[in-house]
Amino acid sequence: MNCQRIEQDLVAYLDGRADPARRRQVDEHLLACPACRERALEFRALWSVLDEVPAISPSPAFDAAVRQRVAAEPRRASRWAWLVPSPRLGFALTAVLVLAVWLSSVRAPRQPPVAAAPQSSETEFAMIRELPVLEDYDVLQGFDALSELPVQQAVPQPHAQRQP
């Protein structure tokens, strides 16, 4: 340990909160370095000097002032404060909710049940095909619609003819 490193450890060494390994290192350095030894002694002396500053007491009116300010807090509003940390966030959440409801109500009637089929990718198709049981009618209906897609594309057939 050198004089620079002791800066990190001297205070903890002096207040007795350094771990034993660091303590030993500081001990060794202090034995070898008169300047740091002097600083350590003066730090200790400084701490008792700092104790000379008397503590002050809060004025008698302090508690009453705190109670008054606490009593002035809006209690009913704060009952729900944990739900919505800030009015802005509350407004944003409400707006998102309203927008979501509106979008679903506007889009739902225009959308025929099959409309989703053209958007389905091959992976979605594969997923549906891999379903072990297609008991649900809606799913079955969707499956039928999807199964029409490869017929439209009709790509694999030419390959199959050229191969032999």
Partner 1 sequence: MARSDVQLMLDVKAGDDSSFELLLRKYRGPLVNFLYRMVGDTGTAEDLAQEVFLRVYRARKQYAPSAKFTTWMFRIATNVALNSRRDGRHRQLEVSLDHSPEHAEKDDPPAMEVPDRRPGIEQELIVRDRAALIRRAVEALPEKQRAAVLLHKYQEMDYDEIAAALECSESALKSLLFRAYETLRIELAPLVGHVAGSPKRTEEVRSS
Convert residues 123-142 into a mask of x (bound to partner 1 by CB under 8 A) and - (unbound): --------------------
DSSP 53: S
C-beta of residue 148 within 8 angstroms of C-beta of residue 120 = no
Specify the stretch interacting with partner 1 by CB under 8 A; choose among 37-45, 109-117, 126-134, 146-154: 37-45
Give the residue with the Cβ less far from partner 1, 61 or 154: 61
Contact between 21 and partner 1 by CB under 8 A: the answer reads: no
Q: Which two three-digit tokens encode residue 124?
A: 């979605």
Distance CA 17, CA 8 (A): 12
| Under rule CB under 8 A, residue 160 binds partner 1 | no
Q: What torsion do the CA atoms of 12, 14, 15, 20 make, to the nearest 10 degrees? A: 60
CA 29, 33, 34, 35 dihedral sign is: negative
Reduced to 3 states (helix: H, G, I; strand: E, B; else coil), residue 131 is coil
Does position 50 interact with partner 1 (CB under 8 A)? The reply is: yes
CA distance 99 to 102: 5
Query: Which of 47/102 has CB closer to partner 1?
Result: 47
Q: Does 5 bind partner 1 (CB under 8 A)?
A: no
User: Which residues of this chain interact with partner 1, rule CB under 8 A?
Assistant: 7-12, 15, 17, 34-35, 38-39, 41-43, 45-50, 52-59, 61-63, 65-67, 69-70, 73, 78, 81-82, 85
